């Protein structure tokens, strides 16, 4: 059974998610002296990022031990309104003391294949994994990955019908999405699944049919890539959960 927590509304999802982020990263930093998170883009996490960037969390997140990554990025410059990096920067990173050298954005301004290859090299260096496919060895993986889900069942930039979700050798790939911006760079399902904790944030009535299909429908990874993230936890609001049977 998937681990699903249904909360009253989107604000409650953001609040519980912020508490989870603080707890997971603090525990990791206490254990290892460092911690890592992969951020998701889109609009849902903006409220979460604003909360984490507020005075309430300045002391509660080990910002000085944190390495920030992204689970995907649109192939646009970092100043483009479509940039996932820009959204997180404005909502959170500009307001917290993460050293600039520990903010590892995907270079959306570069040719997509080069950006994907460079980010894979960065991840291998960061996690001490010189060779071989994911999943990463224990201790060499994200402490927390934040994920969203599109109405078409995509997560990160693993879009249905592209075969991207079936990639298991590479850690980072270029994906041609149906949604604009068309060119994306995405971490692959094994890398995302290898994280210690994977937290989906899904809100709104529009996502209800897809959430029911992903969580309760037949397993069909290329049709519903969000199903490929093993062991994920789901924080959803009542509207998005309204078509779940359980």
89, 58 in Cβ contact below 8 A?
Answer: no
Looking at 36-44, 56-64, 104-112, 162-170, which segment touches ligand 6PG (CB under 6 A)?
36-44
Strands (E), 40-171: 66-70, 72-74, 144-147
Residue 178 as a binder of ligand 6PG (CB under 6 A): the answer is no
Looking at 56-64, 134-142, 155-163, 234-242, which segment touches ligand 6PG (CB under 6 A)?
155-163
The residue among 149 and 214 lying less far from ligand 6PG, judged by its C-beta, is: 149
The alpha-helical segments, DSSP class H, found in 98-164 are 112-127
Q: Residue with structure tokens 């760079």?
A: 185
Residue 41 as a binder of ligand 6PG (CB under 6 A): the answer is yes
Question: Would you say how long the chain is, in residues?
Answer: 246
The DSSP annotation for 16-39 comes to HHHHHHHHHHHHHHHHHS-EEEEE
Residue 172 as a binder of ligand 6PG (CB under 6 A): the answer is no
Residue 227 as a binder of ligand 6PG (CB under 6 A): the answer is no
Q: Least distance (Å) from ligand 6PG to the CB of residue 78?
A: 14
Residue 187: strand pairing partners: 172
End-to-end CA separation in angstroms for the chain = 10
Q: State whether residue 160 is helix, strand or coil.
A: coil
In this structure, are strands 197-202 and 233-237 parallel, antiparallel, or unpaired?
parallel
Looking at 59-67, 92-100, 131-139, 145-153, which segment touches ligand 6PG (CB under 6 A)?
145-153
Looking at 51-59, 108-116, 119-127, 153-161, which segment touches ligand 6PG (CB under 6 A)?
153-161
- DSSP secondary-structure letter at 137? P
Residue 153 as a binder of ligand 6PG (CB under 6 A): the answer is no
The residue among 47 and 65 lying less far from ligand 6PG, judged by its C-beta, is: 47
Distance of CA 124 to the CA centre of its chain: 18
Q: Which positions touch ligand 6PG (CB under 6 A)? A: 40-44, 72, 84, 148-150, 154-157
């Amino acid at each position: 059974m998937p681990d699903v927590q249904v909360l009253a509304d989107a604000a409650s999802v953001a609040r519980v998610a912020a508490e989870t982020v603080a707890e997971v990263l603090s525990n990791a930093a206490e254990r290892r002296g460092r911690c890592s998170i992969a951020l998701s883009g889109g609009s849902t996490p903006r409220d979460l990022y604003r909360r984490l960037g507020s005075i309430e969390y300045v002391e509660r997140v080990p910002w000085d031990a944190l390495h920030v990554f992204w689970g995907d990025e649109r192939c646009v410059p970092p100043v483009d309104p479509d940039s996932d990096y820009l959204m997180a920067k404005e909502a959170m990173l500009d307001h917290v003391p993460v050293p600039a050298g520990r903010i590892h954005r995907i270079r959306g301004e570069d040719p997509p294949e080069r950006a994907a290859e460079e980010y894979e090299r960065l991840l291998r260096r960061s996690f001490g994994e010189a060779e071989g496919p994911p999943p990463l060895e224990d201790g060499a993986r994200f402490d927390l990955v934040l994920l969203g889900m599109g109405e078409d069942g995509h997560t990160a930039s693993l879009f249905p019908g592209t075969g991207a979700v079936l990639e298991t050798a590479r850690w980072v790939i270029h994906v041609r999405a149906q949604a604009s911006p068309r060119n994306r760079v995405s971490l692959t399902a094994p890398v995302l699944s290898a994280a210690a904790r994977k937290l989906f944030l899904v809100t709104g009535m529009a996502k209800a049919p897809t959430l029911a299909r992903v969580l309760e429908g037949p397993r069909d990874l290329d049709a519903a890539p969000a199903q490929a993230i093993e062991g994920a936890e789901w924080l959803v609001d009542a509207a998005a959960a309204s078509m779940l049977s359980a």
